Chains A and B, each alone.
Chain A
Amino acid sequence: MRINLKIWRQSGPDKPGRFVEYTAPDVSPDMSFLEMLDVINEELIVKGEDPIAFDSDCREGICGTCGFLVSGVPHGPEPGTTVCQLHMRHFKDGDRLTLEPWRAKAFPVIKDLVVDRSAFDRIIQAGGYTSVNVGGAQDANAILIPGTLAEKAMDSAACIGCGACVAACKNASAALFTSAKISHLALLPQGQIERRARAIAMVERHDDEGFGSCSNEGECEAVCPKEIPITNIARMNREYFRAMLISRD
Protein backbone atom coordinates (compact mmCIF):
# COMPACT_ATOMS: atom_id res chain seq x y z
CA MET A 1 0.00 0.00 0.00
CA ARG A 2 0.90 3.63 -0.46
CA ILE A 3 1.34 5.91 2.54
CA ASN A 4 1.79 9.68 2.32
CA LEU A 5 3.78 11.23 5.10
CA LYS A 6 4.32 14.76 6.32
CA ILE A 7 7.38 14.64 8.55
CA TRP A 8 8.95 17.29 10.78
CA ARG A 9 12.50 17.99 9.62
CA GLN A 10 14.82 20.07 11.73
CA SER A 11 18.56 19.87 11.17
CA GLY A 12 19.63 20.80 14.70
CA PRO A 13 18.52 22.01 18.15
CA ASP A 14 18.40 25.71 17.36
CA LYS A 15 17.64 25.43 13.66
CA PRO A 16 14.21 26.27 12.27
CA GLY A 17 12.15 23.22 11.35
CA ARG A 18 9.45 22.51 8.77
CA PHE A 19 7.28 19.71 7.48
CA VAL A 20 8.46 17.82 4.40
CA GLU A 21 6.24 15.49 2.36
CA TYR A 22 7.38 11.95 1.61
CA THR A 23 5.68 9.00 -0.02
CA ALA A 24 6.24 5.36 0.82
CA PRO A 25 4.89 3.75 -2.36
CA ASP A 26 5.11 0.09 -1.49
CA VAL A 27 4.43 -0.53 2.19
CA SER A 28 3.77 -4.07 3.38
CA PRO A 29 1.06 -4.43 6.05
CA ASP A 30 3.52 -6.62 7.99
CA MET A 31 6.02 -3.82 8.38
CA SER A 32 6.29 -1.88 11.58
CA PHE A 33 6.03 1.88 11.40
CA LEU A 34 9.77 2.26 11.95
CA GLU A 35 10.56 -0.28 9.23
CA MET A 36 8.60 1.88 6.82
CA LEU A 37 10.77 4.85 7.86
CA ASP A 38 13.89 2.67 7.42
CA VAL A 39 12.87 2.05 3.82
CA ILE A 40 12.32 5.77 3.19
CA ASN A 41 15.70 6.51 4.79
CA GLU A 42 17.52 3.96 2.63
CA GLU A 43 16.24 5.77 -0.44
CA LEU A 44 17.19 9.15 0.98
CA ILE A 45 20.72 7.88 1.62
CA VAL A 46 21.00 6.54 -1.92
CA LYS A 47 19.89 9.94 -3.21
CA GLY A 48 22.56 11.55 -1.02
CA GLU A 49 19.98 13.26 1.21
CA ASP A 50 19.95 13.47 4.98
CA PRO A 51 17.95 10.54 6.42
CA ILE A 52 15.07 11.24 8.82
CA ALA A 53 16.36 11.04 12.39
CA PHE A 54 14.22 9.10 14.87
CA ASP A 55 15.07 7.20 18.03
CA SER A 56 14.74 3.45 18.44
CA ASP A 57 16.56 0.63 20.14
CA CYS A 58 14.81 -2.63 21.08
CA ARG A 59 12.02 -2.34 18.52
CA GLU A 60 9.97 -4.69 20.62
CA GLY A 61 8.14 -2.20 22.80
CA ILE A 62 10.16 -2.62 25.98
CA CYS A 63 12.92 -0.03 26.07
CA GLY A 64 11.11 3.29 25.70
CA THR A 65 13.53 4.78 23.19
CA CYS A 66 11.16 5.28 20.26
CA GLY A 67 8.33 7.74 20.07
CA PHE A 68 6.77 10.53 18.02
CA LEU A 69 3.27 11.62 17.19
CA VAL A 70 1.47 9.88 14.36
CA SER A 71 -1.30 12.19 13.16
CA GLY A 72 -1.76 13.90 16.48
CA VAL A 73 -1.47 10.92 18.83
CA PRO A 74 1.76 9.91 20.60
CA HIS A 75 2.83 6.44 19.39
CA GLY A 76 -0.09 6.44 16.96
CA PRO A 77 -3.68 5.26 17.15
CA GLU A 78 -3.30 1.78 18.68
CA PRO A 79 -3.75 1.72 22.49
CA GLY A 80 -0.96 0.18 24.56
CA THR A 81 1.51 0.17 21.67
CA THR A 82 4.86 1.85 21.10
CA VAL A 83 5.47 3.21 17.63
CA CYS A 84 8.07 0.47 17.02
CA GLN A 85 5.33 -2.10 17.60
CA LEU A 86 2.75 -0.24 15.58
CA HIS A 87 2.19 -2.22 12.41
CA MET A 88 1.20 -0.88 9.05
CA ARG A 89 -1.80 -3.21 8.88
CA HIS A 90 -3.60 -0.65 11.04
CA PHE A 91 -3.42 1.86 8.19
CA LYS A 92 -5.08 2.03 4.79
CA ASP A 93 -3.73 2.50 1.32
CA GLY A 94 -3.56 6.23 0.58
CA ASP A 95 -3.50 7.36 4.24
CA ARG A 96 -1.90 10.74 4.92
CA LEU A 97 0.00 10.75 8.20
CA THR A 98 1.75 13.58 10.02
CA LEU A 99 4.83 12.73 12.09
CA GLU A 100 5.88 15.22 14.71
CA PRO A 101 8.32 15.05 17.63
CA TRP A 102 7.30 15.25 21.31
CA ARG A 103 6.85 18.94 22.04
CA ALA A 104 7.66 20.31 25.48
CA LYS A 105 9.95 22.97 26.88
CA ALA A 106 11.66 20.21 28.88
CA PHE A 107 12.14 18.03 25.77
CA PRO A 108 14.02 20.20 23.24
CA VAL A 109 14.24 18.83 19.71
CA ILE A 110 17.71 17.53 18.85
CA LYS A 111 17.01 16.64 15.26
CA ASP A 112 13.87 15.81 13.23
CA LEU A 113 11.83 13.43 15.42
CA VAL A 114 14.49 13.03 18.12
CA VAL A 115 14.12 14.97 21.37
CA ASP A 116 16.32 15.29 24.42
CA ARG A 117 14.65 13.40 27.26
CA SER A 118 17.47 13.76 29.76
CA ALA A 119 15.03 15.69 31.99
CA PHE A 120 13.57 12.27 32.85
CA ASP A 121 17.01 11.00 33.85
CA ARG A 122 17.43 13.98 36.16
CA ILE A 123 14.06 13.29 37.80
CA ILE A 124 15.23 9.73 38.46
CA GLN A 125 18.59 11.00 39.71
CA ALA A 126 16.75 13.22 42.19
CA GLY A 127 15.34 10.24 44.07
CA GLY A 128 14.12 7.37 41.90
CA TYR A 129 16.37 4.81 43.53
CA THR A 130 17.11 3.14 46.84
CA SER A 131 20.61 3.82 48.04
CA VAL A 132 20.62 1.33 50.91
CA ASN A 133 23.21 -1.39 50.59
CA VAL A 134 21.29 -4.65 50.64
CA GLY A 135 24.35 -6.90 50.77
CA GLY A 136 24.31 -10.30 49.08
CA ALA A 137 21.17 -11.89 47.63
CA GLN A 138 18.81 -12.86 50.43
CA ASP A 139 16.38 -15.67 50.76
CA ALA A 140 13.44 -14.83 48.51
CA ASN A 141 10.98 -14.94 51.41
CA ALA A 142 13.01 -12.89 53.87
CA ILE A 143 11.03 -9.76 53.02
CA LEU A 144 7.35 -10.59 52.71
CA ILE A 145 5.45 -8.56 50.16
CA PRO A 146 1.70 -9.08 49.69
CA GLY A 147 0.88 -10.21 46.16
CA THR A 148 -1.51 -7.32 45.57
CA LEU A 149 1.22 -4.80 46.41
CA ALA A 150 3.77 -6.60 44.29
CA GLU A 151 1.34 -6.44 41.37
CA LYS A 152 0.68 -2.74 41.86
CA ALA A 153 4.36 -1.94 42.19
CA MET A 154 5.05 -3.95 39.05
CA ASP A 155 2.29 -2.11 37.15
CA SER A 156 3.96 1.19 38.03
CA ALA A 157 7.44 -0.14 37.33
CA ALA A 158 6.29 -1.08 33.84
CA CYS A 159 6.91 2.56 32.82
CA ILE A 160 9.55 2.58 30.09
CA GLY A 161 10.12 6.34 30.26
CA CYS A 162 9.32 7.02 26.62
CA GLY A 163 7.80 10.45 27.29
CA ALA A 164 4.48 9.90 25.50
CA CYS A 165 2.65 11.09 28.64
CA VAL A 166 4.36 14.47 28.42
CA ALA A 167 3.75 14.64 24.68
CA ALA A 168 0.02 13.95 25.07
CA CYS A 169 -0.61 16.25 28.03
CA LYS A 170 -1.97 19.70 27.22
CA ASN A 171 0.26 21.03 30.02
CA ALA A 172 3.33 19.00 28.99
CA SER A 173 3.25 17.57 32.50
CA ALA A 174 5.41 14.61 33.43
CA ALA A 175 3.11 13.74 36.33
CA LEU A 176 2.43 10.23 35.05
CA PHE A 177 6.12 9.38 34.62
CA THR A 178 7.15 10.91 37.94
CA SER A 179 4.25 9.31 39.80
CA ALA A 180 4.96 5.87 38.36
CA LYS A 181 8.58 6.15 39.47
CA ILE A 182 7.59 7.39 42.94
CA SER A 183 4.88 4.73 43.24
CA HIS A 184 6.79 1.59 42.46
CA LEU A 185 9.27 2.35 45.23
CA ALA A 186 6.71 3.73 47.71
CA LEU A 187 4.73 0.51 47.47
CA LEU A 188 7.60 -1.81 48.35
CA PRO A 189 9.39 -2.32 51.68
CA GLN A 190 12.76 -1.53 50.09
CA GLY A 191 11.52 1.89 49.11
CA GLN A 192 10.38 2.98 52.58
CA ILE A 193 13.68 4.36 53.87
CA GLU A 194 13.95 7.21 51.38
CA ARG A 195 10.21 7.48 50.76
CA ARG A 196 9.69 10.98 52.12
CA ALA A 197 12.78 12.60 50.64
CA ARG A 198 12.14 10.85 47.33
CA ALA A 199 8.62 12.25 46.88
CA ILE A 200 9.75 15.79 47.60
CA ALA A 201 12.92 15.67 45.52
CA MET A 202 11.31 14.09 42.47
CA VAL A 203 8.31 16.45 42.41
CA GLU A 204 10.59 19.47 42.77
CA ARG A 205 12.93 18.23 40.06
CA HIS A 206 9.90 17.65 37.82
CA ASP A 207 8.88 21.28 38.29
CA ASP A 208 12.40 22.66 37.87
CA GLU A 209 12.73 20.87 34.53
CA GLY A 210 9.83 22.97 33.25
CA PHE A 211 7.05 20.38 33.03
CA GLY A 212 3.49 21.57 33.71
CA SER A 213 0.98 20.44 36.34
CA CYS A 214 -1.69 17.76 36.02
CA SER A 215 -5.22 18.71 34.91
CA ASN A 216 -6.48 15.14 35.41
CA GLU A 217 -7.64 14.62 31.84
CA GLY A 218 -5.93 11.25 31.53
CA GLU A 219 -4.62 11.72 27.98
CA CYS A 220 -1.30 10.40 29.33
CA GLU A 221 -2.86 7.15 30.50
CA ALA A 222 -4.63 6.74 27.16
CA VAL A 223 -1.44 7.03 25.09
CA CYS A 224 0.88 5.22 27.50
CA PRO A 225 2.24 2.14 25.74
CA LYS A 226 2.29 0.39 29.13
CA GLU A 227 -1.18 1.73 30.07
CA ILE A 228 0.07 3.09 33.39
CA PRO A 229 -3.06 4.41 35.16
CA ILE A 230 -3.37 7.93 36.55
CA THR A 231 -4.15 6.45 39.95
CA ASN A 232 -0.37 6.72 40.23
CA ILE A 233 -0.74 10.50 40.07
CA ALA A 234 -3.22 10.49 42.96
CA ARG A 235 -0.68 8.39 44.88
CA MET A 236 2.14 10.81 44.05
CA ASN A 237 -0.02 13.67 45.32
CA ARG A 238 -0.62 11.78 48.58
CA GLU A 239 3.06 10.91 48.91
CA TYR A 240 4.03 14.52 48.41
CA PHE A 241 1.44 15.97 50.82
CA ARG A 242 2.33 13.35 53.39
CA ALA A 243 6.01 14.16 53.07
CA MET A 244 5.58 17.93 53.06
CA LEU A 245 2.58 18.56 55.27
CA ILE A 246 1.49 15.64 57.36
CA SER A 247 4.24 13.34 58.42
CA ARG A 248 7.66 13.60 60.00
CA ASP A 249 8.95 10.30 58.68
Chain B
Amino acid sequence: MSTFRRVFSSSVGTKLLIGLTGLAMFVYLILHLIGNALIFAGPDTFNHYSHALISNPLIIPIETGLLLIFLLHVYKTIVNYFSNQSARPTGYAEKKFAGHTSRKSVASSTMIFSGLVLLLFVVIHVKQFKYGAWYLTTTAPSVRDLARLEFEVFRQPLWVAFYALCTIVVGLHLRHGIASGFQSIGFDHPVYTRRLTVTGVVLAIIIGGGLAFIPVWVYFTQ
Protein backbone atom coordinates (compact mmCIF):
# COMPACT_ATOMS: atom_id res chain seq x y z
CA MET B 1 0.00 0.00 0.00
CA SER B 2 1.28 3.49 -0.74
CA THR B 3 2.35 5.55 2.26
CA PHE B 4 -0.47 7.94 1.52
CA ARG B 5 -3.15 5.27 1.64
CA ARG B 6 -1.53 3.67 4.67
CA VAL B 7 -1.59 6.92 6.64
CA PHE B 8 -5.11 7.93 5.83
CA SER B 9 -6.66 4.54 6.35
CA SER B 10 -5.09 4.22 9.83
CA SER B 11 -7.10 5.26 12.89
CA VAL B 12 -4.73 8.13 13.65
CA GLY B 13 -4.52 9.35 10.05
CA THR B 14 -8.28 9.15 9.64
CA LYS B 15 -8.68 11.45 12.62
CA LEU B 16 -6.05 13.80 11.17
CA LEU B 17 -8.19 14.18 8.05
CA ILE B 18 -11.42 14.57 10.03
CA GLY B 19 -9.76 17.13 12.28
CA LEU B 20 -8.19 19.16 9.46
CA THR B 21 -11.34 19.23 7.34
CA GLY B 22 -13.51 19.99 10.39
CA LEU B 23 -11.26 22.85 11.49
CA ALA B 24 -11.13 24.24 7.95
CA MET B 25 -14.94 24.34 7.88
CA PHE B 26 -14.91 25.95 11.31
CA VAL B 27 -12.68 28.76 9.99
CA TYR B 28 -15.01 29.10 7.01
CA LEU B 29 -18.00 29.37 9.35
CA ILE B 30 -16.41 32.27 11.23
CA LEU B 31 -16.06 34.15 7.93
CA HIS B 32 -19.56 33.10 6.87
CA LEU B 33 -21.02 34.44 10.11
CA ILE B 34 -19.21 37.77 9.75
CA GLY B 35 -20.37 38.06 6.13
CA ASN B 36 -23.96 37.19 7.00
CA ALA B 37 -23.96 39.67 9.85
CA LEU B 38 -23.60 42.46 7.26
CA ILE B 39 -27.36 42.13 6.83
CA PHE B 40 -27.60 44.16 10.06
CA ALA B 41 -25.90 47.02 8.18
CA GLY B 42 -28.75 47.04 5.70
CA PRO B 43 -29.66 45.27 2.42
CA ASP B 44 -27.35 47.41 0.29
CA THR B 45 -24.20 46.64 2.23
CA PHE B 46 -25.14 42.97 2.30
CA ASN B 47 -25.87 42.81 -1.44
CA HIS B 48 -22.63 44.54 -2.33
CA TYR B 49 -20.66 42.21 -0.13
CA SER B 50 -22.31 39.19 -1.73
CA HIS B 51 -21.71 40.65 -5.17
CA ALA B 52 -18.03 41.22 -4.36
CA LEU B 53 -17.78 37.58 -3.27
CA ILE B 54 -19.35 35.97 -6.32
CA SER B 55 -17.66 38.25 -8.81
CA ASN B 56 -14.20 37.42 -7.49
CA PRO B 57 -12.51 34.96 -9.90
CA LEU B 58 -11.04 33.08 -6.95
CA ILE B 59 -14.52 32.06 -5.83
CA ILE B 60 -14.64 29.00 -8.12
CA PRO B 61 -11.44 27.34 -6.81
CA ILE B 62 -12.35 28.28 -3.22
CA GLU B 63 -15.85 26.85 -3.51
CA THR B 64 -14.53 23.70 -5.14
CA GLY B 65 -12.00 23.35 -2.34
CA LEU B 66 -14.71 23.82 0.28
CA LEU B 67 -16.91 21.25 -1.40
CA LEU B 68 -14.06 18.72 -1.45
CA ILE B 69 -13.27 19.43 2.21
CA PHE B 70 -16.92 18.97 3.10
CA LEU B 71 -17.24 15.71 1.14
CA LEU B 72 -14.00 14.37 2.60
CA HIS B 73 -15.21 15.16 6.12
CA VAL B 74 -18.54 13.45 5.50
CA TYR B 75 -16.98 10.41 3.85
CA LYS B 76 -14.30 9.93 6.51
CA THR B 77 -16.62 10.49 9.48
CA ILE B 78 -19.21 8.03 8.18
CA VAL B 79 -16.67 5.30 7.39
CA ASN B 80 -15.02 5.97 10.75
CA TYR B 81 -18.36 5.74 12.53
CA PHE B 82 -19.04 2.27 11.16
CA SER B 83 -15.55 0.96 11.83
CA ASN B 84 -15.80 2.26 15.40
CA GLN B 85 -19.17 0.57 15.80
CA SER B 86 -17.69 -2.72 14.67
CA ALA B 87 -14.93 -2.44 17.29
CA ARG B 88 -17.60 -3.28 19.88
CA PRO B 89 -19.95 -5.86 18.38
CA THR B 90 -21.62 -6.64 21.73
CA GLY B 91 -22.71 -3.58 23.68
CA TYR B 92 -22.99 -3.15 27.43
CA ALA B 93 -26.14 -3.87 29.38
CA GLU B 94 -25.31 -0.92 31.58
CA LYS B 95 -22.93 1.91 30.72
CA LYS B 96 -22.55 5.29 32.41
CA PHE B 97 -20.62 8.47 31.68
CA ALA B 98 -17.43 8.18 33.70
CA GLY B 99 -17.54 11.78 34.98
CA HIS B 100 -14.33 12.87 36.74
CA THR B 101 -12.03 14.43 34.09
CA SER B 102 -14.05 13.15 31.13
CA ARG B 103 -15.07 15.64 28.45
CA LYS B 104 -17.89 13.43 27.20
CA SER B 105 -20.96 15.56 26.62
CA VAL B 106 -24.26 15.46 24.78
CA ALA B 107 -22.39 17.15 21.92
CA SER B 108 -19.59 14.59 21.84
CA SER B 109 -21.93 11.60 21.97
CA THR B 110 -24.12 12.84 19.13
CA MET B 111 -21.49 13.89 16.56
CA ILE B 112 -22.73 11.50 13.88
CA PHE B 113 -26.35 12.65 14.34
CA SER B 114 -25.53 16.36 14.45
CA GLY B 115 -23.31 15.75 11.43
CA LEU B 116 -26.07 14.06 9.45
CA VAL B 117 -28.47 16.91 10.29
CA LEU B 118 -25.81 19.31 9.00
CA LEU B 119 -25.43 17.32 5.81
CA LEU B 120 -29.14 17.66 5.11
CA PHE B 121 -29.12 21.30 6.18
CA VAL B 122 -26.20 22.31 3.99
CA VAL B 123 -27.83 20.76 0.92
CA ILE B 124 -31.13 22.57 1.57
CA HIS B 125 -29.41 25.82 2.48
CA VAL B 126 -27.16 25.95 -0.58
CA LYS B 127 -30.05 25.11 -2.88
CA GLN B 128 -32.30 27.73 -1.27
CA PHE B 129 -29.80 30.61 -1.30
CA LYS B 130 -26.90 30.02 -3.66
CA TYR B 131 -29.11 28.41 -6.28
CA GLY B 132 -32.29 30.23 -5.20
CA ALA B 133 -34.30 33.02 -6.84
CA TRP B 134 -32.01 35.49 -8.62
CA TYR B 135 -33.60 38.91 -7.98
CA LEU B 136 -31.83 42.05 -9.09
CA THR B 137 -31.60 45.28 -7.18
CA THR B 138 -33.53 48.18 -8.70
CA THR B 139 -30.87 50.78 -7.89
CA ALA B 140 -27.81 51.04 -10.13
CA PRO B 141 -25.39 49.33 -10.30
CA SER B 142 -27.76 46.39 -10.51
CA VAL B 143 -26.48 43.40 -8.50
CA ARG B 144 -28.11 40.25 -7.16
CA ASP B 145 -30.65 41.17 -4.47
CA LEU B 146 -29.84 38.36 -2.06
CA ALA B 147 -31.27 40.37 0.83
CA ARG B 148 -34.71 40.24 -0.76
CA LEU B 149 -34.53 36.46 -1.04
CA GLU B 150 -33.35 36.24 2.56
CA PHE B 151 -36.22 38.43 3.79
CA GLU B 152 -38.75 36.39 1.82
CA VAL B 153 -37.54 33.12 3.26
CA PHE B 154 -37.30 34.37 6.82
CA ARG B 155 -40.74 35.94 6.83
CA GLN B 156 -41.99 32.36 7.01
CA PRO B 157 -41.99 31.07 10.58
CA LEU B 158 -41.33 27.46 9.56
CA TRP B 159 -38.14 28.38 7.75
CA VAL B 160 -37.05 30.54 10.66
CA ALA B 161 -37.56 27.62 13.03
CA PHE B 162 -35.77 25.23 10.68
CA TYR B 163 -32.75 27.51 10.28
CA ALA B 164 -32.57 28.37 13.97
CA LEU B 165 -32.67 24.68 14.93
CA CYS B 166 -30.11 23.61 12.34
CA THR B 167 -27.67 26.38 13.18
CA ILE B 168 -27.92 25.47 16.86
CA VAL B 169 -26.97 21.95 15.75
CA VAL B 170 -23.94 23.56 14.05
CA GLY B 171 -23.03 25.00 17.46
CA LEU B 172 -23.54 21.63 19.11
CA HIS B 173 -21.27 19.91 16.58
CA LEU B 174 -18.60 22.54 17.17
CA ARG B 175 -19.03 22.41 20.95
CA HIS B 176 -17.10 19.14 20.84
CA GLY B 177 -15.55 19.55 17.42
CA ILE B 178 -13.21 22.50 17.95
CA ALA B 179 -11.21 21.14 20.88
CA SER B 180 -11.44 17.64 19.45
CA GLY B 181 -10.09 18.69 16.08
CA PHE B 182 -7.03 20.29 17.63
CA GLN B 183 -6.35 17.18 19.73
CA SER B 184 -6.69 15.01 16.61
CA ILE B 185 -4.05 16.98 14.72
CA GLY B 186 -1.71 16.52 17.67
CA PHE B 187 -1.98 19.98 19.20
CA ASP B 188 -1.27 19.76 22.92
CA HIS B 189 0.21 22.57 24.96
CA PRO B 190 0.39 23.00 28.74
CA VAL B 191 -1.35 26.38 28.64
CA TYR B 192 -2.97 26.86 25.23
CA THR B 193 -4.86 23.58 25.10
CA ARG B 194 -7.01 24.54 28.04
CA ARG B 195 -7.57 28.08 26.74
CA LEU B 196 -8.41 26.66 23.37
CA THR B 197 -10.95 24.27 24.83
CA VAL B 198 -12.71 27.13 26.61
CA THR B 199 -12.45 29.43 23.58
CA GLY B 200 -13.77 26.59 21.42
CA VAL B 201 -16.92 26.29 23.50
CA VAL B 202 -17.41 30.08 23.47
CA LEU B 203 -16.92 30.19 19.69
CA ALA B 204 -19.34 27.29 19.23
CA ILE B 205 -21.96 29.28 21.13
CA ILE B 206 -21.19 32.47 19.18
CA ILE B 207 -21.30 30.68 15.81
CA GLY B 208 -24.40 28.59 16.59
CA GLY B 209 -26.19 31.41 18.38
CA GLY B 210 -25.13 34.06 15.87
CA LEU B 211 -26.28 32.09 12.85
CA ALA B 212 -29.56 31.25 14.60
CA PHE B 213 -30.13 34.90 15.51
CA ILE B 214 -30.11 36.17 11.92
CA PRO B 215 -33.34 34.48 10.73
CA VAL B 216 -35.05 35.34 14.01
CA TRP B 217 -33.98 38.97 13.66
CA VAL B 218 -35.21 39.12 10.06
CA TYR B 219 -38.54 37.62 11.08
CA PHE B 220 -39.19 40.14 13.83
CA THR B 221 -37.78 43.31 12.25
CA GLN B 222 -38.05 43.11 8.46
Contacts and interface: CB of A to CB of B under 8 A. Distances in A.
Interface stretch (B93-101, B131-139, B167-175, B208-216): B93-101
A111 to B, nearest CB: 15
Contacts of A73: 96, 98
Interface in B73-93: 80, 83-84, 86-93
A185 interface: no
Interface stretch (A36-44, A53-61, A128-136, A228-236): A228-236
Contacts of A171: 84, 87-88
A219 B102 contact: yes
Nearest to B6: A244
A157 B183 CA distance: 21
Given A100-B94, A170-B109, A216 B84 contact: no
A210 interface: yes
B221 interface: no
Contacts of B94: 69, 71-72, 98, 100
A66 interface: no
B11 A206 contact: yes
Given A212-B88, A217-B104, A72 B188 contact: no
A71 B92 CA distance: 10
A215 interface: yes
Contact of B180 (A8, A215, A245): A215
Given A173-B87, A215-B84, A216-B184, 19 more contacts: A72-B95, A105-B88, A170-B88, A171-B84, A173-B84, A203-B12, A207-B10, A210-B87, A213-B11, A213-B84, A214-B11, A215-B108, A217-B102, A217-B103, A218-B104, A231-B193, A235-B186, A237-B185, A241-B13
13 contacts: A69-B94, A69-B95, A72-B94, A72-B95, A74-B98, A103-B88, A170-B109, A210-B87, A211-B87, A216-B184, A217-B102, A217-B176, A222-B102
Interface of B: 3, 6-7, 10-16, 80, 83-84, 86-104, 108-109, 111, 176, 179-180, 183-188, 193
